[in-house]
Amino acid sequence: MLERWDTLPDELKEAMFSEQYADILWRACESQHLTEEKIGVIAELVGYVFLGFLYSGDLAREIQNALNLDYKIAAEIFHEVDSKIFAKHR
Task: Identify the band that residue 8 occupies on the pLDDT scale cut at 50, 70 and 90.
Answer: low
Q: Is the pLDDT of residue 4 over 90?
A: no
The pLDDT of 8-23, averaged and rounded, is 79
Distance CA 36, CA 74 (A): 15
The pLDDT assigned to 1 comes to 61
Q: Is the pLDDT of residue 90 over 90?
A: no
Q: Which contacts (CB < 8 Å, 24+ apart) does range 25-30 have?
A: 25/80, 25/81, 25/85, 27/80, 28/76, 28/77, 28/80, 28/81, 28/84, 29/77
The pLDDT of 79-83, averaged and rounded, is 94
Q: Which tens digits make up the pLDDT trace of 23-70?
A: 999 999 999 999 999 999 999 999 899 888 999 999 999 999 999 999
Region of 72 (left: φ > 0; alpha: ψ -120 to 50; beta: rest) is alpha
The pLDDT of 62-79, averaged and rounded, is 97
